[in-house]
Chains A and B, each alone.
Chain A
Amino acid sequence: MKAPTFKYLRAESMDDVYAAFAEYGDEAVILAGGQSLMPMLNMRLAQPAVLVDINPIYELSGIVLSNQKLHVGAMTRHVEVANAELVAETLPLIGCAIKQVAHRGIRNRGTFGGSLAHADPAAEMPACAVALDATLILQSHGGARRVKATDFFLGVMSTDRRSDEILTSIELPTQGSNHAWAFHELSRRHGDFALVGVAATAQRRSEGLDGLRLVVFGCEARPRISEVVASRTLVPQDVAEFAAAVVKDLDPMSDLEGDAEIKLIQAHALVERSLNDLLAAQPYD
């Protein structure tokens, strides 16, 4: 199980990346953390002609807070996101969910941007990015483009990124004491991709919650906001009805771990738990 031959380019700067795109076009594939790409190379499921290694581009890493937004560099490793106090304080949803991302050795190398660009529908970070209304910054030789997470994910491992673009950073609006969040995931084992998961945020009102951004992931081809409940106010007595509505709106894919009908049952349980969590959560400082 050895990778096929390819040309390896070490990009020290964004210009190196653009130059590689210009020279090799679609044949150039970006190597970020490599935690998804490397297995595919070793198994020869991916046979790119050129690998452009962006690990040496230091400016793609880091977490900065400004204007009530957390700016996360695409090459920021999962471990750095998980350990960042800024993330724990301002985006507790991510602080919680990132612990479910694979395992220590993978989180030490895998990157936040890589996880989004890879767009596995059962992955945690894309779902969180959608729930948190993140904006992704894509850069090409021609300049930058801003894409909402809700528009970025198109299907199974398919995104709005063009082949001459590179995801450079992610902007996440921070959450304060008026926000509630919930995260539930069913996986076979700790660190596995989700069989079904829920990432949700909402705003507290004097009575109930509104602005509900609830994403059921690991179920459909891409993470998306459940629109059927997005504009309604959630109060405790409506949890069952909300859960039923969210699940009715799902169109799950069958996989080895269960058919669509099973996924709906599981999603229902997790959605209901998430809604209860949102309602129960105490405002935090």
Chain B
Amino acid sequence: MTEMLSIKLIVNGIVVNKLVDPRQHLTDFLRSDLGLTGSHIGCEHGVCGACSVRVNGRVVRGCLMLASQSDGAEIETIEGLVESGDLNELMTEFVARNALQCGFCTPGILLTAAEIVAEDRCFSRQEIRNELSGNICRCTGYQAIIDAIEMVLIENMKKK
């Protein structure tokens, strides 16, 4: 029978104590054990980026990390980042220019985009494209996504 492991972590600011199957990946855990279904499972082999979550401040593939490895970690998911307002500017730009269609990849893309924006430096359009290369979107053709991120970067520069 499956031997369960006890983990304690912080998810979107809330302390969570759970027993997990050691083989369960982080996204499965967040989705099935915590009901955080905003992170999506697109490939489970680390290519598509739909499962992206923030672990200790950095965006990683939730499918390439075990839930058991998140013991002691601080996890932020799309749900938490939406509630905190961290993604407001990006989401506004995404919606305004229809930078999403089916929306399956979008939470992962927003997390990556937020990390790019937070670097607080200049990015050329091609650099934004390269930085986003780890998130597959099959619907949009990417242009509106790049436009949205570029717009937020420009707005942030103006604010300085």
Contact = CB atoms under 8 A, between A and B. Distances in A.
**Contact flag (A, B; Cβ within 8 A):** yes
15 contacts: A1-B45, A7-B3, A35-B46, A35-B61, A35-B64, A38-B64, A38-B66, A42-B63, A53-B69, A104-B115, A105-B59, A106-B46, A109-B60, A109-B61, A191-B130
A5 B23 contact: yes
B64 A34 contact: yes
Interface in B119-144: 129-135
A6 B23 contact: yes
Given A104-B115, A105-B52, A41 B23 contact: yes
B59 A10 contact: no
Contacts, number: 98
Interface in B25-50: 25, 28, 44-46, 49
Q: Which of the four size classes fits the interface of chain B?
A: 35 or more
B45 A39 contact: yes
Interface in A106-121: 106, 108-109
B77 interface: no
Judged by DSSP, the binding face of B is mixed
Nearest to A5: B23
A108 B58 contact: yes
A8 B45 contact: no
A22 interface: no
Contacts of A39: 44-46, 64
A5 B132 CA distance: 33
Given A1-B45, A42-B63, A191 B5 contact: no
Nearest to A79: B58
A34 B23 contact: no
Specify which of A2, A35, A42, A191 lies most central, judged by the most chain B CB atoms within 10 Å of its CB: A42
B59 A7 contact: no
Query: Considering residues A5, A79, A109, which has the most beta carbons from chain B within 10 angstroms of its beta carbon?
Result: A109
Interface in A1-44: 1-8, 10, 31, 34-35, 38-39, 41-43
A103 B22 contact: no
B81 interface: no
Interface in A94-147: 99, 102-106, 108-109
